[in-house]
Each structure stands twice: as structure tokens, then as C-alpha cells.
């Protein structure tokens, strides 16, 4: 008989009780269940307060990107990722960039956009004017929701309106522009737009449905640039290759998606390690890549008159030092301490630099030996672990598979058996 996933009151159970249900449902072994329950740096009862229906915690490798010099300051970059080569590639690229003086970065004020959707308007123009004529009043109502943010110099700084054409007719979209200071801002912004919505309904005579932050944070951009000496990147041919790769990504959305994924490999690893909202960053990045034009690359690389490589990346970066898991997750707190950034702006700029480094690392490999060589040794170690290798055997099995150019679980098992026999 198939088991049902409809479990009434699941949320009311303790993590242990939930795990027992899941264990039964999924046929987990005692060992697997014990692994899920394992008390890690994120204790189960804290995890249980962070999200719903908790049964365990999910650890990821946490590594450190080294060599980062950004605006003359040295950083160690905490990166959580399951993907081999990401941390090594970022560190290698940061070293190349360092030889050209490091990254230079900039960012705009930490302003997020909150949207209020007004529909069923007999006269959208009239409604728009009603909103605009009460602009100050609406902004005040919104700011009253968050006196702390206002006392820190943040809060609503402006209000905008737009009438859009949709498949369900014209809609008035009211936008609040909120300076979120050192917060990512979703909570502050969502509270504000929810609070002013009834007043907007009242003055427009329309119906408000959505009241929510936009992740396309075009007013909260971070930018990083660098110049990599041609000798550092591997010579003229590599510089040319990277410039061609960049032109390809600018012109072709299919390539741009992968190009941007490469930059996000680094950015998201830091976002994960620091307990920030990685979906918000990814949504913002891809939204921005398609803003005003067909989807394109977030970074670009050009050969400069000296024959060196100039790189630039710009993207929305809605990150915070306060709120969410940043201040609750024990490892995120340590990661933030390692990162040692003093403001959300500095954090955003470091992330842009990490994205540019990661992108450079990927492109350098792609235009020369390809990414498989770099991936292979770590991939081979994963395969060796998969085949049951432990401790010293992991490297021995991996090396043998690479030598034979046969990186497969079946071969790993054979090698493991041979090596184990020889050791007896
Ligand atoms: C792999 O995770 C990322 C790359 O595909 C990025 C790129 O192609 O630029 C190597």
C-alpha cells in the first residue's frame, strides 16, 4: 500500500516524532535517522525554531576563499557549497586579481522596492493622482511601522506609481522605496506595504491584492571591477579567449545563463555560509540580467590598451547583517565574524567581488584546459567516497581513477577492492 504524505498536525509534533514518521515513510535505516538527528553546530531545537516541520539539519561543506584584496582590505571569504572546485577557483582568481591591485568596488544605498498592486480601477489615472497627492502621508504611515529603521537613518525615501497593461486590464502599481540600512529588508518593506494598503484602497476606490517586496532590487546595486595583468592570467591568448567568452555571453542568453551561474556559484556560497536569502539574490541577479534587454551577462571582460584584462560586474545585492538567520544560525554568525564586514553595503561589495572572481576563474579554465581537469580530482574523490573508500583510501582510489581516466563508481569499487586486498 502506498503511504500518504497527508499528515495532519505534523507541525505540532516534536522533531523526534516527525523523524519517526519520515523514517517509516521513507524506509530510513537507524543509521540514516541518527545522522539526521546528529547534534551539530546547529542544534536541533534551534533549527526547530527557524523553520517548520523540522526533522534534522543539513550540513554542507564550509570552506574559505583566500587571496581576496578588496579596496585595499584583505578578506577571508566563508563559502558553503556542495560543488567541487568553486572555492579553489575563486581563491585562484582572487590571486590573479591581487596581482593587478585587487578589486575596486562601489554600491548604491541599500534601497529596496515594495510594491502594492491596485486593480479594478474605473480611472487608473485619477487613482494615480490620488496616491501622488498623498505621497507624504503614505510615506509617513509606512515609516511609522519601523521607528528603529528610521532612527538609524533608513525608512521610506520615495514613492512611485506606474500604470501597467496586463492580461487582466490596467493596474496601478504603487512602489515604496525603502532604505533598509543593514537589513536585507524584506520584513521591514513587507510590513510597510501591508500597512499602507488599506489607505491606498480607500483613496483610489480600487482593490489591493499583492503587497510585497520586489527582488529585482535595481536601486540596491553592487559593482566590482578589476584589472588582471596578462602575465597573471596566463598570457595574451587567455586574455583574448576571456574577451571572446564575455562577448559570447553578452550576445547569447543560453551562454549568459551559464556565465551568470558561474558568478553565482561564488556569491551563493557566501550567502549560504552567512545565513542570507539566496533565492532573493538569484531572483535579483537573473531579473537584472533581463532588465531592459534580452537576458544577458552580469559581468563583462575586455582587453585594455596595455593588453591586460579589465573586468566588471554589477548586480542587485539585497543582503543584511541583521535579521533572518544571520544572527541566529551559529555558523552564519561565525562566518560573518570571519568575513568582518561592517555594513550591508560593504558586504554587498565583497559579494560582487566574489562573483567577479568566480566568473574569472571559470572563464580562465574554460578558455584553456576546460573545467573538467580541475573538477576531476575532487569529483574523483567524491566518487571514491561513493564507492565506500574511507580515510587514506579516498585519495588512493581517486588518483588511480584519474591516472586511468576512468572516473566511475564501478571502477572505484574495483580499485578499492584491489587496494584493500594488497593491504591485508
Ligand atoms: C559550473 O558550475 C560553472 C561554469 O559552467 C560557469 C561558466 O560556464 O562560466 C563553469
Per-residue pLDDT tens for 123-137? 999 999 999 999 999
**Confidence at residue 167, expressed as pLDDT on a 0 to 100 scale:** 98
Mean per-residue pLDDT, 148-171: 97
Distance (angstroms) between ligand 1 centre and the Cα of 219 equals 28
Tell me which residue has its CA closest to atom 4 in ligand 1.
262
Quick check: 313 pLDDT over 80? yes
Tell me which residue has its CA closest to atom 9 in ligand 1.
259
Q: How far is CA 244 from the centre of its chain?
A: 27
Mean per-residue pLDDT, 16-29: 89
Quick check: 82 pLDDT over 70? yes
**Confidence at residue 15, expressed as pLDDT on a 0 to 100 scale:** 85
Of 215, 320, 355, 332, the closest CA to residue 272 belongs to 332
Distance (angstroms) between ligand 1 centre and the Cα of 174 equals 38
Tell me which residue has its CA closest to atom 3 in ligand 1.
262
Distance (angstroms) between ligand 1 centre and the Cα of 261 equals 6
Own/partner long-range contacts of 229-238 (Cβ < 8 Å, ≥24 apart): 229/99, 229/100, 229/308, 230/306, 230/307, 230/308, 230/309, 231/99, 232/95, 232/96, 232/97, 232/99, 232/100, 233/96, 233/309, 233/360, 233/364, 234/364, 234/368, 236/307, 238/364, 238/367, 238/368
Pocket lining for ligand 1, CB < 6 angstroms:
83, 258-259, 261-262, 265, 362-363, 366, 371
160: Cβ–Cβ under 8 A, 6 or more apart, which residues?
174, 175, 177
pTM for the whole thing?
A: 0.89
Which range, of 27-41, 51-65, 407-421, averages the lowest pLDDT? Answer: 27-41
Distance (angstroms) between ligand 1 centre and the Cα of 15 equals 38
**Confidence at residue 347, expressed as pLDDT on a 0 to 100 scale:** 98
Percentage of the residues of the chain whose pLDDT score is greater than 70: 99
Q: How confident is the model at residue 40 (pLDDT cuts 50, 70, 90)?
A: confident
pLDDT tens, residue by residue, 95-122: 999 999 999 999 999 999 999 999 999 9
Own/partner long-range contacts of 370-376 (Cβ < 8 Å, ≥24 apart): 371/85, 374/85, 374/88, 374/89, 375/84, 375/85, 376/402, 376/407
Mean per-residue pLDDT, 171-182: 98
Catalytic residues: 83, 261, 277, 375
pLDDT tens, residue by residue, 203-213: 999 999 999 99
Best-predicted range by mean pLDDT (44-48, 49-53, 201-205, 387-391): 201-205
**Confidence at residue 35, expressed as pLDDT on a 0 to 100 scale:** 75
| Residue to mutate, 242, 256, 259, 359, ligand 1, most ligand atoms under 8 Å from C-beta | 259
**Confidence at residue 109, expressed as pLDDT on a 0 to 100 scale:** 97
- CA angle, residues 68, 72, 76, in degrees to nearest 5: 30
Please identify which residue in the block is written with the cell numbers 510590513.
191
Q: How far is CA 294 from the centre of its chain?
A: 22
**Confidence at residue 1, expressed as pLDDT on a 0 to 100 scale:** 56
206: Cβ–Cβ under 8 A, 6 or more apart, which residues?
118, 119, 120, 121, 127, 172, 200
Mean per-residue pLDDT, 345-366: 98
Average confidence score pLDDT of the chain: 94
| Residue to mutate, 258, 264, 282, ligand 1, most ligand atoms under 8 Å from C-beta | 258
Amino acid at each position: 500500500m502506498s503511504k500518504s504524505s497527508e499528515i495532519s498536525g505534523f507541525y505540532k509534533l516534536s522533531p523526534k516524532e516527525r523523524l519517526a514518521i519520515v523514517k517509516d515513510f521513507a524506509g530510513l535505516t537507524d543509521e540514516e535517522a541518527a545522522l539526521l538527528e546528529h547534534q551539530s553546530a546547529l542544534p536541533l531545537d534551534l533549527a526547530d525554531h527557524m523553520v517548520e516541520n523540522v526533522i534534522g539539519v543539513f550540513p554542507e561543506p564550509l570552506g574559505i576563499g583566500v587571496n581576496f584584496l578588496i579596496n585595499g582590505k584583505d578578506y577571508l571569504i566563508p563559502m558553503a557549497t556542495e560543488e567541487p572546485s568553486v572555492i579553489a577557483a575563486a581563491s585562484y582568481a582572487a590571486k590573479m586579481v591581487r596581482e593587478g591591485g585587487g578589486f575596486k568596488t562601489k554600491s548604491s544605498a541599500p534601497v529596496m522596492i515594495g510594491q502594492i498592486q491596485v486593480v479594478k480601477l474605473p480611472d487608473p489615472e485619477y487613482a494615480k493622482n490620488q496616491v501622488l497627492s498623498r505621497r507624504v502621508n503614505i510615506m509617513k504611515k509606512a515609516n511609522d511601522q519601523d521607528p528603529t529603521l528610521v532612527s538609524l537613518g533608513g525608512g521610506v525615501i520615495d514613492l512611485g506609481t506606474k500604470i501597467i497593461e496586463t492580461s487582466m486590464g490596467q493596474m496601478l502599481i504603487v512602489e515604496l522605496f525603502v532604505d533598509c540600512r543593514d537589513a536585507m529588508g524584506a520584513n521591514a518593506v513587507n510590513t510597510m506595504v501591508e500597512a499602507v494598503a488599506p489607505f491606498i484602497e480607500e483613496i483610489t476606490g480600487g482593490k489591493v491584492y499583492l503587497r510585497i517586496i520586489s527582488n529585482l532590487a535595481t536601486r540596491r546595486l553592487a559593482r566590482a571591477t578589476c584589472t588582471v595583468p596578462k602575465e597573471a592570467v596566463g598570457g595574451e591568448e587567455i586574455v583574448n579567449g576571456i574577451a571572446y567568452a564575455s562577448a559570447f555571453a553578452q550576445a547569447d542568453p543560453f551562454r549568459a545563463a551559464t556565465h551568470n551561474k558561474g558568478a553565482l556559484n561564488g556569491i551563493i556560497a557566501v550567502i549560504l555560509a552567512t545565513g542570507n536569502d539566496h533565492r532573493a539574490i538569484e531572483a535579483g541577479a537573473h531579473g537584472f540580467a533581463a532588465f531592459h534587454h534580452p537576458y544577458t551577462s552580469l559581468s563583462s571582460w575586455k582587453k585594455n590598451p596595455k593588453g591586460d584584462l579589465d573586468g566588471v560586474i554589477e548586480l542587485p545585492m539585497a543582503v543584511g547583517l541583521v535579521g533572518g538567520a544571520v544572527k541566529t544560525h551559529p555558523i552564519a554568525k561565525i562566518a560573518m565574524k570571519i568575513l568582518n564586514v561592517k555594513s550591508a553595503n560593504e558586504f554587498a561589495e565583497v559579494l560582487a567581488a566574489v562573483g567577479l572572481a568566480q566568473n574569472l576563474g571559470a572563464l580562465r579554465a574554460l578558455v584553456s584546459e576546460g573545467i573538467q581537469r580541475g573538477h576531476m580530482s575532487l569529483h574523483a574523490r567524491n566518487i571514491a567516497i561513493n564507492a565506500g573508500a574511507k580515510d587514506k583510501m579516498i585519495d588512493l582510489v581517486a588518483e588511480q581513477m584519474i591516472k586511468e581516466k576512468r572516473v566511475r563508481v564501478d571502477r572505484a569499487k574495483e580499485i578499492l577492492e584491489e587496494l584493500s586486498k594488497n593491504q591485508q
